[in-house]
Structure 1
Amino acid sequence: MVNARAAALNPCGNLGSQENTLQLIQEQKVVTSFVDSSSHGQIETLPNRFETSDVVLRRDNQVVLAVFDNSFHVGALCTPFGRSLNCTDQLLAWPDASLATETSGFEGITYNPIDDTYFIAQETIKTDKKKVFRANIFETRIVSTNSIPIRVLESCIVNWNFASDNKGIEGLEFVSHQGTGKSYLLGLCEANGCNHKSTSDNDGRILVLEKKKANNKESCSWEPIGTIAMPTWVHFGDYSALSIYHRKAIDLPAYVAVTSQERSQVWVGMIEEINQAPFFSLSSLNNNTIYDLPRTSVTTPECGMKYCNIEGVAWQGGNELILVSDKAKTDQDTQCIEKDQSVHYFFLP
């Protein structure tokens, strides 16, 4: 247990210690991926910012697909391995051209290896009821070499009420359960207890969603069958991204990473099957692993945070994470702006 007086004198604790800090491999601003390869005319049509909100690694390891909460475009960004094979970055257009300049609210993307499709989550959309919001999930097929690179196969509401339009689903994962023989989506709630009014900092929750197909009377939907609890010793004020690393195929148990934007940290644990709803559980590794993003200093009020806007995570092998950053807020420091709207590659120490 942490001594209360020591905590008051050093609220940052051991943040920034080398053994718990991710090691930067490389990083770059998202906009440079497109400006460097665009003509002047094309540059004028680019979004004026890239509020990167989630990322998934393509099966060939050459490209990460990134979504942006301010745009319906999808970024196909070459990994270092892809660049060694002459990969070219692309900004893929949403098939509905009327949405080209609209805000998407995208906060999650995940790959379905069974059907070779991608699910993309909108954090929330309005409902007919005042102050009631629900997430929405598109199922898409993305082939960057096609003339129409993104095809929307279906759009289904998540049957879970949120009371705030900006505290909904923040991360998305596809997972299969051998016992039930079914596949599910895992939707990470941004707020503790999936409730934006919660004052807790250790009640992280993940919705387990089962697909309900459309019929003659009802549209398709994603139905919650339960919630997975984060370990209570993980103290995060928010939860911004989720990724599972399958060591083989889509079998469990597997490593899982959950990020916190407010804490500039990543928790790494295990996800495994259980025999009853919600059918999955999270557990800690032996060393209760929480990793810090690199910091400038631990003496500032913000504990030296410079990766202040982490909103997406994807595994690349068992010891490397790809992270993406949203746009810095207007009241954040210069060091936060330097790292925003970027893709970052890190080693686990």
Structure 2
Amino acid sequence: MLVKDGLCYVVFDNLRYLALFDEQLLDKQLLDERTAMQDGQHALVELIGGHGKDYEDIAYDRVARRFYVLIEAQPYGAQFMATVEEYDEQFRMVSSMPLDFPLVRPNKGLEGLTCIRRDGKTHLLGLCEGNRCKAGSAGRTPGGGRIQIFVNGADRWTRVGTIRLPETLRFRDYSGLSVAEDRIAVVSQESSALWVGQFAAESWKLADEGTIYRFPRDEAGKKLYCNVEGVSWVAHDRVVIVSDRAKTRTQPKRCRAKDESIGIFTIPGLPEATIGARTHAAATDQRRNASPFAVPAVRGLFQQRVSGDDALLRLAQLRFAQAGLAAEVYAGTPDELDWILAFAPAHPELPVVHLDRRIDVLDERGAAVVADFATRFVGRVAGLVVHDKPAMADRVPDVVAALRALGGRPERPQVFLEYAAGMELERFAEIGEGLRDVEGVSLCIDSGHVGIKLARVRFAKRHDGLALRTLSPADPRLPALIEDVQAAVDSALPAVLELTRTLGGFGKTVHFHLHDGHPLIPGLSDHFSFLTRVPIPFVHDGRCSLPPLYGPTGLAQILRTAVESCGADRASITLEIHQAEGRLPLGDAAELFGHWRDLTNAERMNYWLSVIAQNHELAIDALVSA
């Protein structure tokens, strides 16, 4: 079981459904045509595409926005392993992979599952049912509780470690676990008890032997909660448990009173959680109380970057789903948008659309094109991005009027005017000021466009007559100018942060195109990864390379400022990275290209998608740790 955002999710070993319980249940839009039953405040929701039975536990990754459902054991060749089915927030299966830990028997596998994010990676913690992960009498011999740690691999969840529960924990079996911040809870069915422990800082090790709490007994001291099957934290001193059906042939009648039920228990004697205390990891199936804001979704550029057929977009669909990325797509016509939306990954956040850069909202025909897109794609896309134009800097009132005419219709996608032509930032902000009282229209900050523009202006002030765009890494003048070049580059981040604070103050959704670059890069100087460095033929600051405009640290500052200034619900973020050249073997996606003879472009596409995913991890880590 799992408690997330006030809802209790329960899986079954004999049904393909999730049960949900909460007073907020009827407000959930997910429970529409796929709701199999509604009875007051309870409902069943179908798990689409999965195995359909033998489910033991459920966990949630709040960063990737994925549910993970545990199947205790399945055959893999001559051995058995547990399986984890991954679902999106519409409960559609995204993947199914084994937990790489061989089991002795199919009915003595992994019983509990929880999700923790640490060092930028999603970790699944699987609780062995038997002591020392064994079956039979050895598994019932107390003192050998084990939790296996897994990370996502190419075709399976790879085991990377083991947590040993204290030998003083004398449970005969283990049936569920939950982690919240540094607190860990484990329940036992046979022992009818709860163990609460704490992780040591920055470690998978336990801080102490923890405390055991027995579930209520009857007057004779006999067990009433005979079938506790799952547990989830709901507060620092409170847990929810779920009980399985009593075994009528082998268990006494008193066990039936509490079977197939949910119980809420307050744990006596637990100290208040220390606000702001740093813990070793974040349990991603619980809210991060230490975070001052929610984590907004992050989009990535979704397009076919190289020549080939639709298999390339299916590859992008797969990689976006695996990363938990929402999409921003390019489209010049409604037909083109219809086509690419058919491949866009399923995600709670609708795609944003970057329209043709030639569209000018000051032109009646251009404004009509934007209005047509907004009307035709209501409910299918979240926003439409159009570029500004050089002439707009001298026609701010006209620009405001044209955008206001496109707004005022909250049912339509938002229209964002992107900073692209290099106008003064103050003039761009004036446009935002003129839109603050109209719904549906706002601005888009492009980190590369702003950064390159500001760096060139800053350099020109110090070197009249020498344009930064005329320099390159191989220019013999560069060693003498490098300090001024990097000082100009350093001016980019403060400008982006200040513009973000200004636009965020208008109380509107602000869209961000985030990418990195450097003015010394020939040709297109931006739309690079935030991990890019620029090679140079001499040593500067101990390296033969230069840092980009922002790097990971700058990206983190932009994201934090965006959420603090706009709010998590009004910061719309896209990683608009498309300059990444390399090849990466297809791995689990090879079957998509079985009809291809030459995999060069498929591997080039796969490499670019890996760069997007890598930067997505940087972005999410920055948002979560802020």
Contact kept? 1:268, 1:284, Cα under 8 Å: no
CA drift at 1:71: 1.3
Q: Give the drift of 1:185.
A: 0.5
Separation in 1, partners of 2:64, 2:47: 20
Q: Tell me what 1:150 maps to.
A: 91
Q: Which residue of 2 aligns with 1:76?
A: 20
Who is 2:73 aligned against? 124
- Residue 83 (structure 1) shift: 7.5
Corresponding residue to 1:282 among 195, 201, 206: 206
Is the helix fraction higher in 1 or 2? 2
Out of 169, 173, 180, the residue aligned to residue 114 of structure 2 is 173
Q: Corresponding residue for 2:59?
A: 110
The residue that corresponds to 1:94 in the other structure is: 47
Please state if 1:222 is matched with 2:168: no
Deviations 1:179-216 (A, max 9, x none): x4322110000000111142530010000001102xxx
**What's the CA shift for 1:84?**
11
Alignment of 1:240-319 (within 5 A): 240-246=175-181, 254-272=182-200, 274=202, 280-284=204-208, 288-298=210-220, 303-319=221-237
Counterpart position of 2:253: 334
Structure 2 distance, partners of 1:174, 1:343, is: 22
Amino acid at match of 1:203: G
- 1:136-194 per-position Cα deviation (integer Å, ceiling 9, x unaligned): 0011123xxxxxx41111111111111111111111111122xx432211000000011
Partners of 2:25 and 2:42 within 8 A in 1: no
1:162 aligns with 2:98: no
CA deviation string 1:16-62 (max 9, x = no partner): xxxxxxxxxxxxxxxxxxxxxxxxxxxxxxxxxxxxxxx11122x1x
1:205 and 2:153 correspond: no
C-alpha distance in 2, partners of 1:135/1:241? 15
How many angstroms apart in 2 are the aligned matches of 1:83 and 1:120?
Answer: 20
Question: Deviation string for 1:74-133 (max 9, x for gaps)?
Answer: 11111xx64898983210112249x6xx5x11111111011111111100012221xx21
Residue 185 (str. 1) matches residue 185 (str. 2): no
- Structure 1 residues 84 and 141 mapped into 2: Cα distance closer, same or farther (>3 Å)? closer
- Higher Cα radius of gyration: 2
Between the aligned partners of 2:102 and 2:207, the Cα distance in structure 1 is 27
Match of 1:194 in 2: 133
Matches within 5 A, 1:14-25: none
Measured in 2, the distance between the counterparts of 1:282 and 1:333 equals 36
What is the TM-score of this pair, normalised by structure 2?
A: 0.39
AA aligned opposite 2:124: L
More contact order relative to length (CA 8 Å, sep ≥ 6): 1
Q: Secondary structure at the match of 1:281?
A: coil
- Give 1:133's aligned residue: 80
User: What amino acid sits opposite 2:224 in the alignment?
Assistant: K
Instruction: Determine which of 169, 190, 193 is the counterpart of 1:234.
Output: 169
Q: 1:22-37 maps to which residues of 2 (within 5 A)?
A: none
Q: Which has the higher strand share?
A: 1
What count of residue pairs does the alignment treat as equivalent? 254
Letter in 1 for 2:48: P
Instruction: Write the distance in 1 (CA, Å) between the matches of 2:72 and 2:205.
Output: 23
Give the Cα–Cα distance (whole angstroms) in 1 for the partners of residues 150 and 4 of structure 2.
Answer: 23
Secondary structure in 2 matching 1:234: coil
Unaligned runs of 5+ in 1: 1-54, 143-148, 214-219, 247-253
Determine which of 238, 243, 254 is the counterpart of 1:320: 238
Amino acid corresponding to residue 95 of structure 1 in structure 2: I
The one-letter code sitting in structure 2 at the alignment partner of 1:327 is R
Q: Which residue does 1:10 correspond to in 2?
A: none
Between the aligned partners of 1:83 and 1:122, the Cα distance in structure 2 is: 26
- Taking the aligned partners of 2:226 and 2:61, their CA distance within structure 1 comes to 30
In the alignment, the residues of structure 2 paired with residue 181 and residue 91 of structure 1 have an alpha-carbon distance, to the nearest angstrom, of 33
Following the alignment from structure 1 to structure 2, what is the Cα–Cα distance between the partners of residues 243 and 96?
26
CA distance in 2, matches of 1:186, 1:155: 16
**Shift of residue 266 of structure 1?**
0.2
TM-score by length of 1: 0.69
In the other structure, the counterpart of 2:3 is 57
Contact kept, 8 Å, 1:231 with 1:283, in 2: the verdict is no
Look up the match of 1:33.
none
Contact 2:55–2:69 under 8 Å retained in 1:
yes
Q: Is the 8 A contact 2:49 2:93 kept in 1?
A: no
Matching residue's letter, 1:296: D
Q: What is the root-mean-square deviation in Å for CA atoms of aligned residues?
A: 2.1
